């Protein structure tokens, strides 16, 4: 027997419940136990389904993030390759530009030197002629020491003036050559 006997009532009389009541109580207890077991199974099933769903969502999110990273890595690699190509192109252009500038400067220098030599040639010829005449004039005359001293000073001043004139003309020719070379570019 499942339930112990107890006394019911205040006069200490004992009553034994009937078999029908005991069957109903037993059936109620079994029903409550079955409901408790069913609830427990239901809770376990809900927990299992929830765990599977969370794991599925985590795996999907992991795949999504991996795909984003793969796209980012690919974009970085493409950008790096484009930058390397651009850097090589710029380096090549820099070398070509530097070589073109070297050639241009060399050509300009040669042209300037040629123009300067052509412009100075008559001046140098005139200076040589002036020196020759000065020597002939100084050697052909006989003068007093004082006069010679004055002519030497005058000759020195004249030589200095001629040299200054030649320097001034040289500067003018150089400036003109530079202006012409910049305009011809």
Q: pLDDT, tens digit, for every residue of 147-178? A: 555 556 677 787 888 888 888 888 888 887 78
| C-beta of residue 162 within 8 angstroms of C-beta of residue 127 | yes
Rounded Cα distance, 28 and 3, in Å = 14
Does 48 fall in a domain?
yes
Does 110 fall in a domain?
yes
**Range of weakest confidence among 15-24, 31-40, 85-94:** 15-24
pLDDT of residue 80: 94
Rounded Cα distance, 115 and 121, in Å = 10
Instruction: Compute the mean pLDDT over every residue in the chain, rounded to the nearest whole number.
Output: 82
Highest mean pLDDT: which of 53-67, 104-118, 163-177? Answer: 53-67
Does 12 fall in a domain?
no
Rounded Cα distance, 166 and 133, in Å = 18
Does 49 fall in a domain?
yes
Q: Confidence class of residue 9 from pLDDT cuts 50, 70 and 90?
A: very low
pLDDT of residue 150: 58
Does 90 fall in a domain?
yes
144 compared with 98, residue with greater pLDDT: 98
Alpha helices by DSSP H, listed for the chain, are 19-140, 145-184
Residue 172 domain boundaries:
19-184
Number of domains in the chain: 1
* Phi and psi angles of residue 7, each rounded to the nearest 5 degrees, phi first: -90, 140
In this model, does residue 43 exceed pLDDT 90?
yes
Q: 5 is written with which tokens?
A: 């006997």
91 compared with 17, residue with greater pLDDT: 91
Percentage of residues of the chain with pLDDT beyond 70: 80
Does 2 fall in a domain?
no
Does 144 fall in a domain?
yes
In this model, does residue 142 exceed pLDDT 70?
no
**105: Cα separation from own chain's centroid:** 32
* Angle, CA of 116, 185 and 92, to the nearest 5°: 120
pLDDT of residue 24: 92
Does 6 fall in a domain?
no
């Amino acid at each position: 027997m499942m339930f112990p006997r107890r006394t019911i009532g205040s006069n200490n009389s004992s009553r034994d419940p009937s078999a029908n009541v005991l069957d109903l109580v037993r059936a109620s207890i079994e029903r409550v136990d079955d409901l408790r077991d069913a609830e427990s199974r239901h809770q376990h099933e809900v927990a299992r389904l929830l765990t599977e769903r969370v794991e599925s969502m985590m795996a999907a999110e992991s795949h999504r993030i991996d795909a984003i990273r793969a796209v980012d890595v690919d974009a970085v690699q493409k950008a790096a390759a484009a930058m390397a190509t651009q850097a090589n192109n710029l380096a090549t252009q820099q070398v070509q530009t530097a070589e073109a500038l070297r050639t241009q400067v060399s050509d300009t220098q040669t042209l300037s030197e040629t123009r300067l030599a052509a412009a100075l040639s008559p001046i140098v010829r005139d200076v040589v002629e002036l020196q020759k005449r000065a020597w002939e004039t100084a050697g052909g005359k006989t003068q007093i020491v004082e006069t010679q001293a004055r002519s030497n000073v005058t000759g020195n001043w004249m030589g200095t003036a001629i040299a200054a004139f030649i320097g001034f003309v040289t500067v003018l020719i150089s400036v003109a050559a530079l202006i012409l070379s910049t305009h011809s570019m």
